[in-house]
Amino acid sequence: MMQLVEIKAAGRALRLLVPEAGMPQWLETAGDANAPTPALAALEALVSRGDNARERDIIVPEATLLPTGGMGSFQWPGLAGHRDGRHFVLHFEDWRIERESSDAACLKAREPRASLALTLHLALHDDGVVVLSSRLENQGTDDFQLDRMMAGSYPVSGLDHLMAFEGFWAREFHEVQESLGAGTWLRESRRGRTSHDRHPALICGTPGLPSGEGRVVGAHLGFSGNHLMAVDRLADGMRLIQAGELFEPGEMRLAPGEAYTSPKLYICEAPDMATMRAGFHAHVREHVLSWPGGAMKPRPVLLNTWEGNYFNHDLASLKAQAEAAAKLGIERFVLDDGWFPVRDHERAGLGDWVVDPRKYPNGLEELADHVINLGMEFGLWFEPEMVNPDSALYRAHPEWALRLEGLKLLQSRHQLVLDLTRPEVSEALFQMMHEVLARVKVAFIKWDMNRDLTHVGDARGHAATARQTRAVYALMARLRAAHPDIEIETCASGGGRADYGALAHTHRVWTSDNTDALERQTIQAGLGLFLPPEIMGQHISALPNHQTGRRHALAFRAITAITGHFGIELNPLALTDVERIELAAWIALHKRLRPLLHGASTHFRLADHDGRSVYGVVSADKAQAIVIVAQRTVQVLEHSGPVKVPHLLAHAEYTLHLPGPQTGATWFRHGPPTRALFDGSSLYAGHSLGQIGFRLPIMLPESAVLIEIRRDTNEEKHHG
């Protein structure tokens, strides 16, 4: 007997038909939750196919929650496997619906021929995000070879334009667009980590993404290992988005009684890009992140020592840097790579997580206590998954590196990857890290990973990427359980592990190793579609920039970084007195604006125009907003277009200000705008700022301005 499943939240309903045999079929994804439940017979009639041109074919639904091949289905399968070459066509039956709540359900079925049990989990949250996952259990007496197992599918119609993300080290989250054709769009990543070039996210919409106009469907796979994403075109023109883990040959072989659970696929269907972005942000805050103490504290401004010191750890200098940082208003001091034995360069030391007595004769406690006594938190860098051949650990246990017998070990950045699937390896790493953290008052860990995985074989020579990824999660979870007050940053050569799977165990993403403000403008915009700004590491670095050699004004660097988890990546002792005063002012401004930037605010981004980007934040009560205008290139048009500010109260009046150390003299080609625009003497109606906007003079390339908008507190007097 056919069954109807309705999942409801925030006035919206997902509806699926569940047959006695076969796969659950999507009916609608944006239904009215308050509408009467449709009659089952009428629904069956609506979705039945009577247009089959080849009468011999068995008619089967295509828009299913987890497509399987065979039985008349010729689409791209989301589930595939076999039992020694047999039972490669799977036909599930006896579906049961287990309601968890009105907004979530588990759909369960069995495959009696293949002795398999399937569970499909479906949830719709108040933030508009749909979460899908799947589980397959082998109930047979011999092994079942699982070749593919997607988290689920999501139907899309009328959106034939796609935006995905590619890049490289120091240039992550680059938006690329294309029109979807008649076949299947497919992207696979085999790097053993989320990756820089094939980030597991996509957006379907109409041409012109990311203009902010028109309905969109965004998808993100919460997983840090090998993955694939597919958009399959069905016979009626509808498309199915699917995503899941990518298995190496023979990697996912389920023994009797074993089960496989997929990563979670997160989908947000929204009327526009801003609503989609807000949905993902809200979901990460509420359902993905888990903060020490149960709630996020204000994100502390931090100094990271890497670009200011690299491997040169001079204790006296580091203490002086900490003192200078505290005077600037820094709240967290993070000691990066180089604190462990023989780590004077990147070719040695990884794997030996003990303090170098040459650099720290009294242990790290001396520096950490100094930092804490200055009123800051102390943070520490680790790269637990890696090992240098030139290390005590590797010399004692060369067999602990991932390898394939008979093949040469491939080094990258002079390092190999430790096999965390071996319990003794994970235990050794935990004990070394635990001993350091038990002695030193560490509030924050920068957890790095600086190479892709190759030759990922375990002690038996079997593919191990899937288990390696889960072993990393397990080590993070164990360390957090032992030290529950510590926050962790996920870093993988910058933004190579920026996914919801990693964020379930961490609290911050190092967005990119590239701290060049011009490059960060687009890097942060791409990742910011899926991550809230308060967990995106955004730092001010020194001149010239260490990745690009560019020189940017401190204002451009500060404004580019100020919206996220703000920090500096330089040696504060190298600053001039003028730079020190200005930087302290930017830090103070960030702290004042932090509740707005990281709170229950509305974020918006206008379509780029003439080399200019506009990003804004409006407070929940609409009494305050900031607008950041960045001019990346030389303007082509003779006149600048208007800057419009949506989401303000239409009939309220507002004033515009240039807060912090801004005068405008260094931003604009022909001098600052008229004084009346920003001195608070002029009042602007909310509807005028939203519909007409305001105009700025022509800006210099590679410059930015931050404008604060405040609701006039004397409105009643003005209107009296």
Half-sphere exposure of 384 (CA within 13 A, CB side): 28
- As a whole number of angstroms, the distance between CA 369 and CA 505 comes to 27
Q: Extract the tokens encoding 409.
A: 């070990």
- As a whole number of angstroms, the distance between CA 517 and CA 545 comes to 9
- φ, ψ at 293 (rounded to 5°): 80, -5
- As a whole number of angstroms, the distance between CA 191 and CA 385 comes to 15
- Among 232, 419, 499, 513, which one carries the catalytic annotation? 513
- φ, ψ at 525 (rounded to 5°): -65, -40
Q: Which residue bears the tokens 């003990």?
A: 354
The answer to whether residues 694 and 642 touch, using CB atoms and an 8 Å cutoff, is: yes
Residues 6+ apart with CB under 8 A from 405: 457, 461
What single letter denotes the amino acid at residue 445?
I
Angle between helices 554-561 and 517-527 (to 10 degrees): 10
- φ, ψ at 697 (rounded to 5°): -65, 170
424: burial class by Cβ within 10 Å (0-12, 13-18, 19+)?
A: exposed
Of 591, 607, 685, the C-alpha closest to 643 is 607
The answer to whether residues 308 and 302 touch, using CB atoms and an 8 Å cutoff, is: no
Residues 6+ apart with CB under 8 A from 392: 341, 351, 352
Q: Extract the tokens encoding 352.
A: 């030996």
DSSP assignment of 422-490, as one string? SHHHHHHHHHHHHHHHHHS---EEEE---S---S-B-TTS-B-HHHHHHHHHHHHHHHHHHSTT-EEEE
Of 634, 680, 629, the C-alpha closest to 653 is 680
DSSP assignment of 259-293, as one string? EEEPPEEEEEEESSHHHHHHHHHHHIIIII---GG
What sign results for the dihedral spanned by CA atoms 286, 287, 293, 297?
A: negative
Half-sphere exposure of 585 (CA within 13 A, CB side): 14
719: burial class by Cβ within 10 Å (0-12, 13-18, 19+)?
A: exposed
Coil, helix or strand for 247?
coil
Give Cα separations from 621 to 159, 532, 687, 711 (angstroms): 34, 19, 16, 10
Cβ neighbours around 55 below 10 Å, total: 6
| First vs last C-alpha separation in the chain | 68
The answer to whether residues 139 and 51 touch, using CB atoms and an 8 Å cutoff, is: no
DSSP state of 133: E
Active site residue 513: yes
- As a whole number of angstroms, the distance between CA 720 and CA 716 comes to 6
Active site residue 448: yes
Q: Extract the tokens encoding 495.
A: 């933004």
Coil, helix or strand for 695?
coil
The continuous run of DSSP H or E covering 317 comes out as helix 315-328
The answer to whether residues 526 and 220 touch, using CB atoms and an 8 Å cutoff, is: no
- As a whole number of angstroms, the distance between CA 291 and CA 309 comes to 30
- Among 419, 448, 499, 516, which one carries the catalytic annotation? 448
What single letter denotes the amino acid at residue 547?
Q
Q: Which residues are catalytic?
A: 448, 513
